[in-house]
Amino acid sequence: MTKTVTDVVCPFCGTLCDDLEVSVTDDGKQILDVYNACAIGAEKFLHSQAKDRITRPRLQQPDGTWKDISYDEAADYTAKMLAGAKKPLMYGWSSVNCEAQSVGNEIAETCRACVDNTAAVCHGTTLIAVQDIGLPTCTLGEVKNRADTIIFWGCNPCHAHPRHMSRYSIFPRGFFTGKGHKSRKLVVVDPRVTDTAKMADMHLQVTQGQDYELLNAFRVAIRNEWLPDVVAGIPKEKIIEAVTMMKAGRFGIIFFGMGVTQSLGKNHNIDEAIAVTKDLNEYTKFSIMPMRGHYNVTGSGEVLAWQFGYPYSVDLTRGFPRYNPGDTSSIDLLNRGEIDAAFVIGSDPGAHFPISAVKKISQVNSVCVDPHITPTSGVSKLHVPVAFNGVETGGNAYRMDNVPIDCRKVVDAPEGMLTDEQFLVMVRDRVKKLKGVA
Partner 1 sequence: METVTITMKNPPALYLEAEHICPDEFAGKTTAQIAELHVYEGNVTSTLGKYFEISGNAGATAEETKIVVKGDVKKVKYIGMKMSAGEIVVEGSTDLYAGAWMSGGRMQVKGDIQAFAATAMKGGELIIEGNAGNYLGAAYRGDWRGMSGGKILVKGNAGSDVGMYMTGGEMVINGDVDVHLATHAEGGKITVKGNAPGKVAGQMVEGEVIIFGTIDVMMPGFKYVDDVDLEIDGTTAKFAHYIGDTGERHKKRKGQMVYGNLYQKI
The three-state secondary structure class of 77 is helix
Nearer to partner 1, 216 or 300 (CB): 216
Nearer to partner 1, 81 or 275 (CB): 275
Q: How far is the CB of 367 from partner 1 (least distance, A)?
A: 18
- The separation between CA 28 and the C-alpha centre of its own chain, rounded to angstroms, equals 30
Binding site for partner 1 (CB under 8 A): 85-87, 111-113, 128, 131-132, 210, 212-213, 216-220, 222-223, 225-228, 231, 264-265, 268, 271-272, 275, 279, 317-319, 323-327, 336-340
Nearer to partner 1, 110 or 196 (CB): 110
Q: How far is the CB of 110 from partner 1 (least distance, A)?
A: 10
Q: How far is the CB of 45 from partner 1 (least distance, A)?
A: 39
Nearer to partner 1, 326 or 436 (CB): 326
Q: How far is the CB of 436 from partner 1 (least distance, A)?
A: 14
Helices assigned H by DSSP within 13-164: 39-46, 71-84, 98-111, 124-133, 140-146, 157-160, 164
Nearer to partner 1, 173 or 432 (CB): 432
Nearer to partner 1, 180 or 228 (CB): 228
Phi-psi region at 402: left, alpha or beta (left = phi > 0; alpha = psi -120 to 50): left
Q: How far is the CB of 168 from partner 1 (least distance, A)?
A: 30
Q: How far is the CB of 49 from partner 1 (least distance, A)?
A: 42
Exposed (0-12), middle (13-18) or buried (19+): which is 18, by Cβ within 10 Å?
middle
Would you list the DSSP string of 117-152? EGGGGTTHHHHHHHHHH------HHHHHHH--EEEE
CB 411 within 8 A of CB 29: yes
Sorted by sequence, the CB contacts under 8 Å of residue 8 that are 6+ apart come out as 18, 20, 21, 22, 408, 410
How many Å apart are CA 404 and CA 185, to the nearest integer?
29
Q: How far is the CB of 105 from partner 1 (least distance, A)?
A: 16
Exposed (0-12), middle (13-18) or buried (19+): which is 19, by Cβ within 10 Å?
middle
The three-state secondary structure class of 254 is strand
Which H/E stretch holds residue 428? helix 420-435
Question: In 3D, which of 321, 409, 342 has the Cα closest to residue 97?
Answer: 409
Nearer to partner 1, 173 or 219 (CB): 219
Nearer to partner 1, 102 or 207 (CB): 207
3-state helix, strand, coil in the chain (%, to 5): 40, 20, 40
CB 361 within 8 A of CB 379: yes
Q: In angstroms, what CA-CA distances link 312 with 22, 117, 399?
A: 34, 6, 17
CB 167 within 8 A of CB 173: no
Nearer to partner 1, 105 or 296 (CB): 105
Q: How far is the CB of 264 from partner 1 (least distance, A)?
A: 7
Q: How far is the CB of 179 from partner 1 (least distance, A)?
A: 34
